[in-house]
Structure 1
Amino acid sequence: MLKKLLKNYDYSLIIAMFLLIGFGIIMIYSASMVVTVTKFDPPRPSNYFFIKQLQWLAVGMVPFILTMVLPYQVYKRFMKMIIIVSLALLLIVLFAGSTFNNGQRWISFAGITIQPSEFIKVGLIIYLAAIFSKKQSYITNFKKAVVPPLIVISVFFFLVAKQPDLGTAVIIAGVSGVMIICSGMKGKHLFSLIGLCFVAFSIIATALPIFLSDEQLSRISGAYDPFSDPQDSGYHLINSYLAIASGGITGRGLGDSIQKYGFLPEPYTDFIMAIVIEELGVFGTIFVIGLLAFIVYKGFMIGIRCQDTFGSLLAIGISSLIAIQSFVNLGTVSGLLPITGAPLPFISYGGSFLVLAMTSMGILINISSFVNMKRKALQPAPTKNKSEGRIVYR
C-alpha cells in the first residue's frame, strides 16, 4: 500500500510547499536579523528566528510524513474526539491561556508555547467534512443537516473571537462558508443562509464600537485612514506602504531592506510580505503568490476529482484555508483589510501555523494519491495488437 501511495503522490505540491518554506526561512532571517539585536535585552544572535523556524520545520516534518502516509479516511472515525479536543483547547485558552500583545491566545507548557486556534482550523475542517459527508442522504433538510454544524461553527467562532483573535475567527467563518456551499445543500437554503449572514454582518458591523476594544477599533481606522494617525494606528500600514513603494520591479536586493531597521514592527511575521516586496520587488511577489495560487488550484482540483464526499470536502476545506489565510494576510499588508495578525502560509515566522500548514498539506497530498490511484484503476488496460505491433486500449 505504501509503495502505491509513493507512486501516486502529487509531487508538484510537495515541491511547491518546500520552495515556499525554504524561501520563507531565508526571508525570516533577512527580516529579523536587526530585530533580534535591537529588541531583546540581552541581544540575541541575528539568526535566532532563523534557527527557531528551522526547528519548527523539523517538528512539522513528523505530522507531515504521518499524514502523507496515513489514509485520510481514518480522520472520519475520530471526528468526535477531534472536535472535543479542539473545544477543550479553546476553553483552556479562555480560562488559563498565556497573554501576549493584549491577546490571550496561547498555551505555555514546559517552555513550549502553542497557539491552539491555529490547530482548531484543521480540526473544524475535518469535522465539517465528516459531518456533511455523513448527512448526504438528507443534506437538503436544512434543519437536520445544516443547523447542527452551524451551531458548532458559531461556538468556535465566538471562543476564538473572545481571545480576541478576530482574524482567525474570520478565517474560520470563511472556510466554513466555503465547505457549506460545497456540501450539496439546496440552493434556496444556501441563498437564505447568505441573506442571514449578511443581516448578521450588518448588525455586528453596527455594534462594533460597543463590543470592540479601543485597540481593535484603532486597527480598523488605521487600515482605511492611516495618515490621520501616522504615529499610532496608521504606523504599521504607512511603513508597509513605504516598503512596498521602495521595492519597485526588482527590489532593493536581498537583505537590503530599510524598513526592517526598527520602522516596520514585526517584519518577520504578519508583515513579512512587505519586506519581500521591498527586497525582491515584483519578482519576489510573483514567486510567492504564484506558488500559493498553484497549491490552492491543485487542492481544489483534487477536491473536485475525488469521488469520496469526505475526501472531496476535506481537500476543498484545506485549499480554502490556504487561500483565505493568504488573502487576509496580503489584505492586511496592502491596507485592504484591518491588521488581523494572520500569518502568510509557509512564509511568516510562527511554529504553530507552520506545523498546521505542513499537516494540512500532508492530508491533501494523501488525498491526491487516492484520487490518482482511483483514476488509474478506471483506465482500460493496454493490450498489444500483434498484427500491427503497437499498444492499443480496449
Structure 2
Amino acid sequence: MGASRSGTVRRPSSGPRPRMSGPGRAPGALGQLRRLYEQAKRAWDRPLTAYYLILGGSLLITTLGLVMVYSASQIQALEYSLSPSYFFRKQFLAAVLGTILLIVAMRMPVRLHRALAYPILVGSVFLMILVQVPGIGHAVNGNQNWISLGGPFQLQPSEFGKLALVLWGADLLARKGDRQMLTQWKHMLVPLVPVTFMLLGLIMLGGDMGTAIILTAILFGLLWLAGAPTRLFGGVLAVAGLLGFILIRTSPNRMARLACLGTSDAGPGDQCWQALHGIYALASGGFFGSGLGASVEKWGQLPEPHTDFIFAITGEELGLAGTLSVLGLFAALGYAGIRVAGRTEEPFVRYAAGGVTTWITAQAVVNIGAVLGLLPIAGVPLPLFSYGGSALLPTMFAIGLLIAFARDEPAARAALAMRLAASGKKRSAGRWNTMRRRAKARPSGER
C-alpha cells in the first residue's frame, strides 16, 4: 500500500519542517516582536494618526473630566445647600456647547478662521475692559476677572483672550511671512509683543497671574515657530522674567505660594494647606486608588477639589493608573499638535497649531506641576478636565481648529477620500444585494 510502481517504499510525509534558529536568523520571539514593532510603526505613521489622536484624546479627556467633576464636586455643592449634581450639570451643559463649537471649528475653512482673528481679539479686549468696570466685573477668590451673566452663570473673558492671541498672532505672522518681513526683528516683535502685553496688563489688573503665564507661553511659542533669533528670544524672555519677578515680589499672596514649593508643613496661618493636602490626596491613592467617589480629601480638606486640584482627587480615587492615563492622553494630544504643525506647508496653520499646542500643554504642565508641588499654585484649570465653562468653550473650539488642520493635510485628505469612496461602494453593494433579494422573492407568474 505504501509502495510505488518501481518497488521503492514511500516514507510518510511529516509536514513542513520547523524553522531552526541559526546564527544568521533571529529567534522566533524576537522576530515576532520586530514584526509587531514594524506594524505599530506603520500604523503610527499613517496620515490620519494625528486626526484620530486629537479627536479621540480630547473626547476621552473631556469625558473623564465630566466623571471626575461629578465625583469631586458633590460635597462642595452640598456645603452650598445645592443639589449634588449642580456643578456636573453646568459642566455637562458647557461640554455640549463646546462640542457644538468643536464641530463648527472643525468644519470651517482656514480662510474663515483667519477672518475671525480680529473680531475675536477685539471682542476679548472689550470684555476684559468691562471686567474692570464697577458693577459689571465680579470678583472670585480675590481676583476680579469675571462678568456675571445672570443667575449662576459667569464669564471669564481672559480665557477667550488665549484663543484670540493664537488666531490673531498666527494670522499676523503668516501675513508678514508672506511679505518676507520676519527677517527684521522689529516686524517680528511689533505689534505682536505690544498687543500681548496689553492683554497681560488687562489680565493682571484683575490679579490673575496664572492666565498671564499661559498667555506668555503662547507668545513665546509663536516667536519660536516664527524663527526668532536666540538673542531676540532671550531678550523677550528676560523682560518677561523681570516683570514676573516684580509682580511676584510685590504680592504677599504670590510670595506665600512660592514658599510652599516642596513643603511638608502647612506653614504659618495654614498658607500651604492646599498644596499639602493635594500631596496627601495623591499619596493616599496608591496604584489603583480608593475607588470612584471614595475620596476623603474632598470632604472639606482640599480647597477647589473640582477646579484647580481635580488632578489630586483623580489620583486619590483612580490612583497612579488614573493619573498616568490622564498624562498619557495629554502627551498624545501634544504630540499630535506638534505633528500637525510640523507637517503643514501653510504658515497660518503651522503658527495656529503650534500656538494651540503650546497653550494646552503649558496649562496642563502648570496645573499638574502645582498639584505635585513642583510649581507654585497658579490657579489655572486643567484643560478639558477641570470644572469651568469659560475655560472649556474656547479650549474645545481650539481643539476643533487642530482637527480641521489635521484633516486638511494632503495625505489625510486623500486617505479620507479613499475611505469615503470605499464606504460608498459598500453601501451601493448593500443596496444592490437588497434589490436582488427582493426581486427573487417576487412571484414569477402573472395574475
* Coarse TM-score class (shorter-chain normalised): 0.7 to 0.9
Of 325, 328, 332 in structure 1, the residue corresponding to residue 370 of structure 2 is 332
Of 332, 343, 359 in structure 2, the residue corresponding to residue 305 of structure 1 is 343
What residue identity is the alignment partner of 1:160?
Answer: I
Match of 1:322 in 2: 360
Offset of residue 230 of structure 1: 6.1
Q: How far apart, in 1, do the equivalents of 2:387 and 2:266 lie? A: 30
Offset of residue 59 of structure 1: 1.5
Q: How far apart, in 1, do the equivalents of 2:268 and 2:327 lie? A: 29
| TM-score, normalised relative to structure 2 | 0.77
Match of 1:127 in 2: 168
What residue identity is the alignment partner of 1:15?
Answer: G
Asked if structure 2 preserves the Cα contact closer than 8 Å seen for 1:329 and 1:344, the reply is yes
Q: How far apart, in 1, do the equivalents of 2:107 and 2:149 lie? A: 29
Asked if structure 2 preserves the Cα contact closer than 8 Å seen for 1:17 and 1:346, the reply is yes
Q: How far apart, in 2, do the equivalents of 1:171 and 1:312 lie? A: 19
Asked if structure 1 preserves the Cα contact closer than 8 Å seen for 2:210 and 2:379, the reply is yes
Match runs of 1:1-394 below 5 Å? 10-37=51-78, 39-40=79-80, 43-95=81-133, 96-111=136-151, 112-136=153-177, 137-185=180-228, 187=229, 190-198=230-238, 200-202=240-242, 204-205=244-245, 208-210=248-250, 212=251, 214-225=252-263, 227=265, 229=267, 231-372=269-410, 376=414
Determine helix, strand or coil for the equivalent of 1:259. coil
Asked if structure 2 preserves the Cα contact closer than 8 Å seen for 1:68 and 1:366, the reply is yes
What residue identity is the alignment partner of 2:169?
Answer: L
Offset of residue 76 of structure 1: 1.6
Offset of residue 165 of structure 1: 0.5
Determine helix, strand or coil for the equivalent of 1:121. helix
Q: How far apart, in 1, do the equivalents of 2:370 and 2:239 lie? A: 25
What residue identity is the alignment partner of 1:245?
Answer: A
Structure 2 CA distance for partners of 1:74 and 1:220, relative to 1, 3 Å: same
Q: How far apart, in 1, do the equivalents of 2:367 and 2:209 lie? A: 13
Taking only aligned residues, the RMSD between alpha carbons, in angstroms, comes to 2.1
What residue identity is the alignment partner of 1:291?
Answer: L
Question: Which runs of no fewer than 5 residues in structure 2 stay unpaired?
Answer: 1-47, 416-447
Aligned length: 364
Q: How far apart, in 1, do the equivalents of 2:169 and 2:182 lie? A: 13
Q: How far apart, in 2, do the equivalents of 1:9 and 1:74 lie? A: 22
Determine helix, strand or coil for the equivalent of 1:34. helix
Asked if structure 2 preserves the Cα contact closer than 8 Å seen for 1:240 and 1:264, the reply is yes
Asked if structure 1 preserves the Cα contact closer than 8 Å seen for 2:53 and 2:332, the reply is no
Q: Which moved more, 1:86-95 or 1:74-83?
A: 74-83
Offset of residue 203 of structure 1: 5.9
Q: How far apart, in 2, do the equivalents of 1:253 and 1:32 lie? A: 16
Q: Which has the higher contact order (CA 8 A, sep 6+)?
A: 1
Structure 2 CA distance for partners of 1:226 and 1:119, relative to 1, 3 Å: farther
Match of 2:429 in 1: none
Q: How far apart, in 1, do the equivalents of 2:236 and 2:352 lie? A: 25
Superposed CA offset, 1:330-371 (max 9, x none): 011111221111000111111111111211111110111111
What residue identity is the alignment partner of 2:85?
Answer: N
Structure 2 CA distance for partners of 1:100 and 1:204, relative to 1, 3 Å: closer
Question: Which runs of no fewer than 5 residues in structure 1 stay unpaired?
Answer: 1-6, 378-394
Percent of aligned pairs with the same amino acid: 33
| TM-score, normalised relative to structure 1 | 0.87
Structure 2 CA distance for partners of 1:244 and 1:357, relative to 1, 3 Å: same
Asked if structure 1 preserves the Cα contact closer than 8 Å seen for 2:266 and 2:276, the reply is no
Q: How far apart, in 2, do the equivalents of 1:249 and 1:300 lie? A: 31
Match of 1:388 in 2: none
Determine helix, strand or coil for the equivalent of 1:107. strand
Q: Which moved more, 1:96-105 or 1:263-272?
A: 96-105
Superposed CA offset, 1:84-105 (max 9, x none): 2221111111223111111101
Which structure has the larger Rg? 2
